[in-house]
Structure 1
Amino acid sequence: MPLLVIIILLILAWFLYKLIYYRSNSFIELKNKIEKYTKDCNDLNDHIYELKRTHIGIDQLDYGKASYQDASNYNYKRPELKKQVFAPNICNCSRSVCDSARKQPFKYVCKYFNIKSTEENLEQFENMLNNFEAAENGKNLLVNEKNNIINGISSEIPFLIKTFDKKNLEKKLGFEPIDLSTIYFPKYIFKYTSSGGNAATQCDVVFNLDNLNRFVVYLSELVKFKKSAAGQRALMTSKLRKSILERDGYTCQKCGASQKNEPNLLLEVDHIIPISKGGITSVENLQTLCWRCNRSKGSKLDF
């Protein structure tokens, strides 16, 4: 029998094997058995997605709209010119600005992307840092929890399925895909392209957790220099967040859930009196909540 025919038959046999298994009563019973845990994982996954959607809420300057035509007789346009993109997070600038942004990224991000040194903006960046750190921590905890659930039923899953069809198995069990990427971190881009398109440089300032911590401190110094009340309060940095979690014994202050009993429990640091209602970032106004309680607080006004 030709090798090609054998391969085709094997593929068809594998396809039919999976089709029969995923429609079997044993698999349906297994899926129902862990339905509660699957739902809990998916709810946490949705919550992490919401945390990653944190927006700093700072509008870019509106410079208006214009049409532009190049009627030049010179045919010297290079490919780099065609790559130029105009977007709120991209600054098409001179070479000197691009080089200076590399040396002093925070200063130039504030200057060219209209981020004012105000207490309001400082709070927004602190909130972004707090949410992003919870999201990054939550992703790892979620992966661990999902793996624990699947490992718990591993003996009831056929060897071929759990070995060669793992991703599809997770999908069939009802687990939503977990996005482990960090592309949601805000990125500010300075781009220089010469008039002829022969030279091009680019400086990317990515606000990952490290840069967000640094930027919060940088912005707070500018705010304090202006004698704002923010100079008298604490900064919501990773260091402060960790100290609150340690102070509260890694235990939710509302429901009592603890990482001691639930190693993969996502805990968050919350303002007892919300910033929107006059609360400030201070040790006394911060508490540890599990993600479920923090999520329910966000949907209730009388928490």
Structure 2
Amino acid sequence: MSNLKSSAIWAAGAVVLLCGMATSDWPIALALFVIVYGYKAYEFFYFRSAKFLAIKSRISAHIQDCNNLNDHIEELKSTQIGTDMSHRGHAERRDNSRWNYKRTEFRKDSNAANVYNCSRDIVAGAQRDPIKYLCKYFGFNADEPTLNQFETMLNNFTAAEDGKQALAGEKNEILGSIANEIPLPIKVLAKKQLARKLGFKDVTLNDMFYPSFKFQYVSSGGNASTNSVVTLDIPNLNAMVEYLSGRIQWRKSVAGQRALMTSALRKYILQRDNYTCRICGANLNAEPHLLLEVDHIIPVSKGGMTTESNLQTLCWRCNRSKGAKMQE
């Protein structure tokens, strides 16, 4: 693909040069051709030079660690929770409206799992009290398993947000350590290419991974519509955890013992453990860009509870390793 792209660039340059040669501006066209494609040739040979390959080899372990962190963040971002609307029964929808709901956006969303087609009143209610309506109409029950799922999502998404900052910091630190060895034209004109050639994976640092749920009203003719979208970002996940906890009928063995895995508790555990991994001892003093996570010592899936005594600080490497061993 890259060879094809390079060939296309050279072909386009040749066309521009030939067109320029046919006019009185041919000296300018020739100069531009020499500058642009002279640099491209320089870039091509630099990334294959012994000097660059030596730099790449020297920092390869750090880049691999950075890429592993990127993979870990992607795993955290993939945490999802399913909706359960099966208890609402089944019905056949017959559309007798004049326009037969031909609005593109409605047709696209009408059967989506995260879209609830409803009245205007429900859309308005979802704007006023989003968490309550989310639970009511998307089937999120006030029980311990559901709460555990949302707590896991909150913990993972918070770690993913922290991880994005750690990843950016670690990558910048690596690039900064070799900045004096990279020629200025490469640093200025080929920044992304430099990162790829060194071996960095492409990183996505946006927040589009947060799941969203839409309450949607469309008029019978399809000419009027309104919707309310609830995005489960960090603040809304905290609100969801607190909302569910307040409505759960706790077992006597759990009541009064269980804490909520909120952002506040996560921060407390990190501070309690002095921002140090309880397994390997890695800490923020030694690694300023280290991603630290809060882990259940006895996993929730094995009966572990969200209590201070069952929570520990782990670096992302140890937490990922622990998770991999449990899946074996």
User: Could you state the TM-score of these two structures normalised by the residue count of structure 2?
Assistant: 0.85
- Report the equivalent of 1:289: 314
Q: Could you say what secondary structure the match of 1:178 adopts?
A: coil
Q: For 2:292, give the aligned amino acid.
A: L
| Aligned equivalents of 2:59, 2:205: Cα separation in 1 | 23
Q: Residue by residue, what CA displacement relative to the aligned partner does 1:153-189 show, whole Å, maximum 9, x if unpaired?
A: 0010000001111111001100011111111111010
Alpha carbons of structure 1 residues 106 and 280: separation in structure 2 relative to 1, 3 Å:
same
Q: In the alignment, is the contact (CA less than 8 A) between 1:145 and 1:264 conserved in 2? A: yes
Q: Secondary structure at the match of 2:37?
A: helix
Equivalent residue, structure 1, for 2:3 = none
Amino acid at match of 1:146: K
Among candidates 184, 192, 205, match of residue 209 of structure 2: 184
Pair member with larger Rg: 2
Residue 111 of structure 1 deviates from its aligned partner by 1.3
The residue aligned with 1:27 is 52
Q: Residues of 1 paired with 2:182 and 2:114: CA distance? A: 48
Q: Which residue of 2 aligns with 1:114?
A: 139
Equivalent runs, 1:202-281 vs 2, <5 Å: 202-223=227-248, 226-228=249-251, 231-232=255-256, 233-281=258-306
d(CA) in 2 for partners of 1:67, 1:160: 65
Moved more, 287-296 or 5-14: 5-14
Q: Cα gap change, 1:191/1:3 in structure 2, threshold over 3 Å: closer, same or farther?
A: farther
**Which of these residues, 150, 154, 179, is aligned with residue 179 of structure 2?**
154
Q: 1:61: how far off?
A: 2.8
Report if aligned partners of 2:131, 2:239 keep a CA contact under 8 Å in 1: no
Normalized against structure 1, the TM-score is what?
0.92
CA contact (8 A) 1:252 1:258 kept: yes
CA shift for structure 1 position 71: 6.8
- Cα distance, 1:287–1:64 mapped onto 2, change above 3 Å: same
CA 1:31 to 1:191, structure 2 compared with 1: closer, same or farther past 3 Å? Answer: same
Residue in structure 2 matched with residue 140 of structure 1 by the alignment: 165
Checking the alignment, whether the CA contact within 8 Å between 1:81 and 1:193 is kept in structure 2 is no
- Describe the SS at the equivalent of 2:294: strand
Where 1:204 maps in the other structure, the secondary structure is strand
The structural deviation recorded for 1:68 is: 6.5
Query: 1:90–1:190: 8 Å Cα contact kept in structure 2?
Result: yes
Tell me by how many angstroms 1:5 deviates.
3.8
Give 2:72's aligned residue. Answer: 47
- State whether residues 98 and 201 of structure 1, in contact with CA within 8 Å, keep that contact through their aligned partners in structure 2: yes
Within the alignment, does 1:196 sit opposite 2:221 as a pair?
A: yes
Percent identical across equivalent pairs?
Answer: 48
1:168 equivalent in alignment to 2:193: yes
What letter is aligned with 2:190?
A: D
Q: Deviations over 1:229-260 (max 9, x none)?
A: 55431000000001000000000011111111
Change (3 A) 1:301 1:218: same
Gaps of 5+ in 1: none
What do residues 105-161 of structure 1 show as CA deviations (whole Å, max 9, x unaligned)?
A: 111111111111111100110011001000100110110111011010001000000
| Distance 1:65-1:227 versus aligned 2 partners, 3 A rule | closer
1:220 and 1:231 in contact (8 A); partners too: no
Letter in 2 for 1:214: A
Alignment of 1:76-91 (within 5 A): 79=103, 83-85=107-109, 86-91=111-116
CA separation in 1, counterparts of 2:132 and 2:263? Answer: 22
1:246 & 1:14 partners in 2: Cα distance?
51
Q: Deviations over 1:174-223 (max 9, x none)?
A: 00111111111110101111111221111010010011111110111011
What letter is aligned with 1:285?
Answer: N
Are 1:17 and 2:42 matched, yes or no?
A: yes
Distance 1:59 1:177 in 2: 35
- 1:128 equivalent to 2:150? Answer no
CA–CA distance in structure 2, aligned partners of residues 163 and 250 of structure 1: 37
Q: How many residues align?
A: 300
